[in-house]
Each structure stands twice: as structure tokens, then as C-alpha cells.
Amino acid sequence: MSDILVPAMGESITEGTISKWLVKEGDSVGQGDVLLELETDKVNLEISAEEAGVVQKILRQEGETVVIGEAVGLIGSGSGSVSAGSSGVGEAAATKAPEAPPVATSPASIEGGGKSAAEQAAQPIASNGDGNGQTASPSARKLARERGIDLEQVQGKDPLGRVFQEDVKTHANSADVSRAASPAPASPAANKPAAASPSQTEYSKPVERQRMSRRRATIAKRLVEAQQTAAMLTTFNEVDMTAILDVRKRRKDKFKEKHDVGLGFMSFFTKAVVGALKRFPTVNAEINGDDIVLKKYYDIGIAVSAKEGLVVPVVRDADRLGFAEIEKSIAELAGKARSNSLSLADLQGGTFTITNGGIFGSLLSTPILNTPQVGILGMHKIQLRPIAIDEERMENRPMMYIALSYDHRIIDGSEAVRFLVTVKELLEDPESLLLEG
């Protein structure tokens, strides 16, 4: 008998959510067969069988949060379907189950005294101390006390009968629904009027309720944190794209023939950003406590819209790459993002980010920082606008608004403005980008 374990997924990821089981109890599997899909804050992973056998028991269900090293199922020898209530399986579960199963938590709200999932997992499972024999985790007992719930009334999913925080939440939601459906109070506390929870909200017209994906919840959390922790400001400018469009028109066919990749706008903007970062190094920094960490390398994040939400894969050492290498890197990363095959290595790090809302038609926006970075450049739609060439002449020019959001804690307004002007000047004179390597 062997455990199906949650593998290590990188230093910044400690937990994930089971999005889908691809097998069921009793299924025969071979070594290397994919058993389940795990959704994390950054990427989705497939967990495969380390040995051939039969899926004896599924310990954690779809939608549950699990941590690194946790057993989510059991594989044993034999063939045919295995009864969930067989004594052999029960004994295996008792032997193989972790001594301290973790408390399921969501990325947006960690209860239990503000401790991390790893810290909660290390807490012992003990009696609730309320005079009964129910076994529950500390955070489950805390939540039960706060909501006036008798733990002996809570039905847990754990095969050994232990109660975790998610079980208490489920019980509380069920009690709320019962109270809403019946005028009889379920407990003395029910005599008091209670505010309606989101799950109790009634709609007079048809609605569809969808569970927020783990990645979407993490994106939401990080964007709010960025606005709450950084002194974020945005400065704007506009770029005359005439010269770049001319270069692309004249060179795109030969460029494609020679390098087998199209000559897009992103290579120009990446080169311009690197050139500006070299002149204004604070924009390529981050805040670490009371220190400013100035980074002497240029790993540029390129925001990509994927099915599961926005991701920011990173083009490494962009200052050392030519136009073709940048275009190939971006095309490869964008393809992996849309096929949901990005690795953690593709996403980690990054010193500055570029996001292009123009591909969706955005004319002007204020991008939000990709913390802990202190700068992000927003590109927008190219639009013909009448521009004064001199006192007497007007011409229709292809113009693009660009925006720089920055952390005012370490970047002064004048520095941010000069950075963006530098980006503008480099883009309007594309040949100068060849000198910025």
C-alpha cells in the first residue's frame, strides 16, 4: 500500500486545490498514469501514480485544499473494485494517514489565528475540550466556538472521523439554510436576527453561481494587496508609432523568413523598457524591509490573458536577447499560458512587467503593480489621431497612449515621468534600440 502524495511545487507554493480526480476507487492504474489535477495559485499540475496498482481509497475530494506532502489517496495491489468499507482499507487509512492532517484554507482568507497552512498543519488534532469526545483541529474548535456550533453535530469527511475547519464551515452553511427555510430556531442564538450571508441571498431573476478558481482568488488577493501596500501612482504619455510601423512594414517578411517568427510590437517595447531601466535603476528594484534592492538583471514579465486568468510569464535576461529571441520567447510563453502548460520556473521572479490592453481595444488604463515589483508599463490601442507637426501642419498619426504605474515610496514623480519619456523617445527612434543592448 502506498500513498498518493501532493508533490513539492516550488518555494512559493505550499498548498493547492484538487480540481479533478481522473480515477475512482477500484480503478487499476499503471505507473505514470495521471490520477488527478491540482490547481495552485500559479499553475495547474497533474499528479501521476508512482507505481502500478489499484486505487484503494480517495481521501480528499474535488474542491478540497491540500498541502505539500499530504496523502490524498491510497494505491494498493490487487484487482477489481474495492469496497470503501472493507477492513483492509480502513486499517491502511489509519496507518497511512498523516499524524496531523492540515486544515483546509482558502488563499483569500486564512482563519485559525492568522496562521499559515503549513503552521496549521503542524498543530495536533485533539479533543475539543468542551466535555465531549469529538476530535477536531484547533482552528475547527475556534470556528465552532465563534459560531456557537456543537462539534458533535458536525459530520466530517475524514475517514478517521476527525473534524476540520472546512467541515465546520459546511455545517454552518447548512444550518443557515435550514434556519432560512424554517421559522423554528435551531439554537438560542437563532432567536436573534442575523444578517443574510451571500449564500442566503435570493435573486428574483435567473442567476448562475460559479465557484471562484484558486488562481482567480489569488489574483484578486494580490491586486488588492498591491493597492493596499504600495503608494501607487500612474503617469501617462503617448507614442507616435509611425517609425515602428514603417520598420515592421519594410522588414517583417525578411524577418519572418530568417527567424521563423513574426516581428511584433513587444520586442520593441521590451527593448525600450530595458534601455529605460538601465538609465533609471530604481524602477528595476523592490522594497525589502527598510532596504531598496536594486536589481542588476532584466527579467521582464509579459502579462498574458489565459482561460484561468491573467498570468505573467517572464522573459529572462531580456537585455542579452535580440529582437528575434525576444519574439520567440514571448510566443513560446504565450502558447504555454493558453495551453495551461506553464511551469513555475516560467512565472517566478521578474523585475518589471509589461501589459498590453491594446489587443482588447483599450485606449487608456491604469495598470496595477505586479508586487513586489515597483513598476509596470501599460500599452494601449494604436489609433489614428490628428497631431500638430509644426505651427502650420497637422497630420493623422498612429498614436498609442502608454502608462507607467509605479510605487511612489521609492520612485519620485520626476523619475517616473523621465522614465516614461525615455521609453517614448526610444520607441519613436527604433534604430536607437540597437544601441541599448
Query: DSSP for 392-407?
Result: S-EEEEEEEEEEEEEE
Q: What is the CA radius of gyration of the chain?
A: 27
- 27 with 54: CB under 8 angstroms? yes
Name the residues annotated as catalytic: 408, 412
- Enumerate residues 6+ apart whose C-beta is below 8 A from 342: 42, 43, 311, 313, 333, 336
Sites in the chain below the pLDDT cut of 70: 10-12, 42, 78-139, 142, 159-160, 175-202, 435-437
Strand intervals (E) in 169-254: 232-240
What is the distance between the alpha carbons of residues 363 and 384, in angstroms, rounded to a whole number?
12
Query: What's the pLDDT tens digit per position in 150-165?
Result: 888 888 777 667 777 7
What angle, rounded to 10 degrees, do the helices at 165-181 and 138-147 form? 20
The predicted pLDDT at position 148 comes to: 80
The predicted pLDDT at position 200 comes to: 53
Domain with CATH 2.40.50.100 in the chain: 2-76
What is the distance between the alpha carbons of residues 417 and 236, in angstroms, rounded to a whole number?
8
CA atoms within 13 A on the CB side of 150: 9
Beta bridge partners of 221: none
Q: With the CA atoms of 400, 349, 17 and 207 taken in that order, what torsion angle do they form, in degrees rounded to the nearest 10?
A: -10
The predicted pLDDT at position 112 comes to: 38
The predicted pLDDT at position 166 comes to: 78
What is the distance between the alpha carbons of residues 268 and 326, in angstroms, rounded to a whole number?
9
What is the distance between the alpha carbons of residues 369 and 410, in angstroms, rounded to a whole number?
14
The predicted pLDDT at position 88 comes to: 39
Task: Please check whether the domain covering 2-76 is classified as CATH 3.40.30.10.
Answer: no
Domain with CATH 3.30.559.10 in the chain: 217-434
CA angle 186, 192, 196 (to 5 degrees): 85
The predicted pLDDT at position 331 comes to: 93
Statement: the pTM of the whole predicted model exceeds 0.85 = no
Q: Which residue has the cell 516550488?
A: 10
The domain made up of 217-434 has a fold known as: Chloramphenicol Acetyltransferase (3.30.559)
